[in-house]
Structure 1
């Protein structure tokens, strides 16, 4: 049975293919009952792959447990014809990578960067309190939505890890450019690997360049494990921005701040406080954005 026929069973009309994932395709769909749009991950269950079903069940478990203004909403899931379809919120305004490289070809103002970054930080803080590591934080997985496109939501929890009572894990997975040194070296890791990814993200927002790049995987690993990055432009950004990046890109995980410690930083605290009060309200957030996007 093809995707359109399977989706029709659950009143979902396929509008277009958004992308292809590791185990299946991603579609933009319309719920024919209420005309609402949804993103549906259509995953083919492969019983030849060890623990594949457990991985899918893990994603569903994580998605269904998360309720936060800065996390993409989980709607439902359906098992049919050796497939599982996961229905999630549709982010109407693209992702942060598109925003940076297509809508803002020049460097972004510091206040604007912090306005978006702090929303990401609030979302990461929430999942870390649930003992969840995202493991693939990157600009493409930071989604923009809402009436005005200023509401930031973290998406793609397909490779997240529920830590439960196990505080560290060792599976090497994630986007190579954002991998923390401990992952490159095959060591165990925890939530501090997400902090490293946040450092890479903030650096990219300030420079429109990746913190660590190389033409080969070996070269990339060497660059990451060295921890050396070119400084950001301090004529455009405050020294506090560089200090923030440096703290998150510490080669030693224990030296990296937690999300709670980051939120208490002088440069972030006022914005975090204001965003927390708005709690994802699109109208209030838009009014707040005017202060930062001038």
Structure 2
């Protein structure tokens, strides 16, 4: 991704397979962003959100060890010619994404980069999905004005495009675009 490289690894003691997100510390802002991502992820214990197991810092990088999910991107699956997507499938996927977003918002976290690439299938079969990549996520206090000028163009809400105050509805706009793509 834009902020790091992800590799698979295995914990020696348990044999547990993990995903390691390696973030290079090229300047102080890189470290600050990585620490913010760790802080946010430490508060997000939910079955539809990728889980952080551990984070370590070396002189040149910060490594986030996360839950490994092997089903690939949701949208890669649904565009596969061999996969027959039904309305019920869409409903199941969107419900899980909503559940994850609801939990994030209850924990006062905005994802701010919801897009198809950030929805992963837990396994190659089945319907369990998880939201990933909290690199742009922010703590949110409704009493404080928060404006951002980042994200993925096709999924940006009007308030991000206009550099207005963001809120919970900012993530919901992106969810609407994802839902439209699923049922379209």
Residue of 98, 108, 112 corresponding to 1:135:
112
Q: Deviations over 1:51-96 (max 9, x none)?
A: 3322111100011111011111111000112210000011121111
Task: Report what 1:87 is aligned to.
Answer: 65
Q: What is the Cα deviation at residue 24 of structure 1? A: 2.7
**Gap change, CA 1:180 and 1:89, over 3 Å in 2:** same
Residue of 51, 58, 74 corresponding to 2:36:
58
Q: Which has the higher helix share?
A: 1
Residue of 12, 17, 28 corresponding to 1:32:
12
**Gap change, CA 1:122 and 1:164, over 3 Å in 2:** same
Task: Report what 1:185 is aligned to.
Answer: 162
Residue of 166, 180, 184 corresponding to 1:203:
180
Instruction: Determine which structure has greater relative contact order: mean sequence separation of CA pairs < 8 Å that are 6+ residues apart, divided by chain length.
Output: 2
**Gap change, CA 1:23 and 1:155, over 3 Å in 2:** closer
Q: Is the 8 A contact 2:160 2:166 kept in 1?
A: yes
Task: Report what 1:16 is aligned to.
Answer: none
**Gap change, CA 1:166 and 1:173, over 3 Å in 2:** farther
Q: Is the 8 A contact 1:93 1:149 kept in 2?
A: no
Q: Is the 8 A contact 2:71 2:120 kept in 1?
A: yes
RMSD: 1.8
The correspondence of residues 89-108 of structure 1 with structure 2, limited to 5 A, is 89-102=67-80, 108=85
Gaps of 5+ in 1: 1-20, 208-294
Q: Is 2:136 the counterpart of 1:159?
A: yes
Aligned residues: 184
**Gap change, CA 1:73 and 1:198, over 3 Å in 2:** same
Q: Is the 8 A contact 1:92 1:149 kept in 2?
A: no
Q: What is the Cα deviation at residue 33 of structure 1? A: 2.1
Distance 1:170 1:152 in 2: 29
Larger Rg: 1
Q: Deviations over 1:25-49 (max 9, x none)?
A: 11111222222111111111122x5
Q: What is the Cα deviation at residue 164 of structure 1? A: 3.9
Tell me the TM-score normalized by structure 1. 0.59
Q: Is 2:56 the counterpart of 1:78?
A: yes
